[in-house]
Structure 1
């Protein structure tokens, strides 16, 4: 168990934890708020804590849940490391996930799941997609906790139609319908894989489209700058992230770009569950169930939330906390 002395010491480290420990420029995200400023309740995770990485889509809602959980559960804390650096907003770089343990920052659901699979110092992954059915992911439990919507964003002064269907988007993202600046998140993105599945496009087709110059698949997901100021650009975008922007609550993406499904009922729109992913062997253990299980902290917060909604994500009722393969 954590000693009182050690608990006080790590809080005192604050945002300077990496420097104090001689770990160079690595950043411990639980020391920071979503806007990159120092969190007065910040800490460097230890062996008692649950460390997670992964999805950009749900990083902020998991951050919020972690802070609430940690305020009342100081023994086993949630430490969620964002897909991008909270201070700079940029992907890449290293993170210090426990004393003396540095890893490359995972950016996206796939990267977080891979890290969970390969690194025993990581306890969970954030994911905006379900399991892909691979042998590696069969050893993991995908635990849904909320629902999100997915459509596409365009510039506020865009020439892109607001009623594009899945079939239209398939044509655009396979170069069959020219005249668009089609954007797609980075390769490890769960939003990317879910979006492509919904419009019926394979990664092989995207590779061909990228080579032909009609798709840019290198943009950071849920960054409205990908289309802002470009009247021909479009990109898939989370409905929850569109209405909520914790780093700058007064300036959500809704103030910058347009979500097509929000203005046109004919626009492509899909719904998806979002997940916390843990090892199958951890399911049923008190440490994990008290956080991720159906009677755990996270499901309780959605059940109690006004409108059953937290930061744009909608609760899923009795399905919350029950792994996909158990339903």
Structure 2
């Protein structure tokens, strides 16, 4: 693959046309009231923010101290206050990578302001064991287009790679969109296409908020999308803004991203394996012995892993056998 220039001048649609002013989720999706600090505070991934909000308010994820989880969305106010004392003015982490980075900083500083990071990505560096990546569900990343798009509703990996490298002779008018740096969806998409950051073509608008179909402004545009997010955004949950717009998630290599219709709509866990991935809650390894961490996240009988109804309601697939596993350690 050739290294591409990433100059965007004249190649992308302006921010106003993409509706970037609509990106912030409503404040009610954060802990409400904001002083409801609870026992475990999490930040990070846009992909898993809503399912973690759902789990945070589930009667199944409680103990003698009440509701356990306080999960802060990826977007919203610039800063957040995660604990009653000593944790004011934390820059809100927008995405998996930034969430894990914030957890690492908190661990290094010893402040205890962040207890876990939401991540759609696993670790890449196994030389460190400071963090443990605990899987709790499964997702699919596919591409989405406008409902009336002339682009095919099924593309191959090779066709998508050509589009994102800006080399496509088959679809020369395609306008690819890509989430901002630090987004797990961005990383997963490029990995699935066999691309590095250097391979991203000059025609790609690569600074959008992930899983926001409103940003698809015309039929020539396409973007990677979490299928679980797309499903949950259409369910009318009070804490899940419908950011789908007129977008539709599409098939890759002949695999449909969803099964069923209406209330039975579900993620296709038999999708092409390159686009399937687990999602994680990342905790400091030294805290694995903490009783609240253990009962909430660890092993298949943990409160989160047993709340299958909430996980599936928010569009994710269940990973019963290895949910809550603690063997995966490392860094991003």
TM-score of the superposition, structure 2-length normalised?
0.75
> How far, CA to CA, are the matches of 2:316 and 2:284 in structure 1?
24
Q: Report if aligned partners of 1:110, 1:127 keep a CA contact under 8 Å in 2.
A: yes
Q: Report if aligned partners of 1:50, 1:76 keep a CA contact under 8 Å in 2.
A: no
Q: Tell me which residue corresponds to 1:125.
A: 117
Structure 2 unmatched ranges of 5 or more:
1-24, 107-111, 258-270
Deviation at 1:310, TM superposition (A): 2.9
Q: Report if aligned partners of 1:147, 1:271 keep a CA contact under 8 Å in 2.
A: yes
> For residues 246 and 168 of structure 1, do their structure 2 counterparts lie closer, same or farther at Cα, with a shift above 3 Å needed?
closer
Runs of 4 or more above 4 Å deviation: 69-73, 250-255, 266-269
Tell me the matched-pair count: 276
> How far, CA to CA, are the matches of 2:294 and 2:324 in structure 1?
8
> How far, CA to CA, are the matches of 2:70 and 2:62 in structure 1?
12
Q: Tell me which residue corresponds to 1:322.
A: 325
Q: Tell me which residue corresponds to 1:93.
A: 78
> How far, CA to CA, are the matches of 2:130 and 2:151 in structure 1?
42
Q: Tell me which residue corresponds to 1:300.
A: 306
> For residues 73 and 325 of structure 1, do their structure 2 counterparts lie closer, same or farther at Cα, with a shift above 3 Å needed?
same
> For residues 135 and 187 of structure 1, do their structure 2 counterparts lie closer, same or farther at Cα, with a shift above 3 Å needed?
farther
Q: Report if aligned partners of 2:56, 2:67 keep a CA contact under 8 Å in 1.
A: no
Q: Secondary structure at the match of 2:218?
A: coil
Structure 1 unmatched ranges of 5 or more:
1-28, 86-91
Asked whether 1:180 is paired with 2:165, we answer no
Q: Report if aligned partners of 1:151, 1:238 keep a CA contact under 8 Å in 2.
A: yes
> How far, CA to CA, are the matches of 2:205 and 2:126 in structure 1?
27
Asked whether 1:165 is paired with 2:179, we answer no
Q: Tell me which residue corresponds to 1:66.
A: 56
Deviations 1:250-297 (A, max 9, x none): 984566211112996478852111100001111233121111011221
Q: Tell me which residue corresponds to 2:41.
A: 51
Q: Secondary structure at the match of 2:80?
A: strand
Measured on the aligned residues, the alpha-carbon RMSD in Å equals 2.9
> For residues 200 and 97 of structure 1, do their structure 2 counterparts lie closer, same or farther at Cα, with a shift above 3 Å needed?
same
Asked whether 1:312 is paired with 2:297, we answer no
Superposed, 1:9-158 pairs within 5 Å as: 33-34=28-29, 39=32, 42=33, 44=35, 49-68=39-58, 72-74=63-65, 77-85=68-76, 93-99=78-84, 100-101=86-87, 102-119=89-106, 120-133=112-125, 135=127, 138-158=129-149
Q: Report if aligned partners of 2:43, 2:74 keep a CA contact under 8 Å in 1.
A: yes
Deviation at 1:43, TM superposition (A): 5.1
> How far, CA to CA, are the matches of 1:216 and 1:324 in structure 2?
37
Q: Report if aligned partners of 1:112, 1:126 keep a CA contact under 8 Å in 2.
A: yes
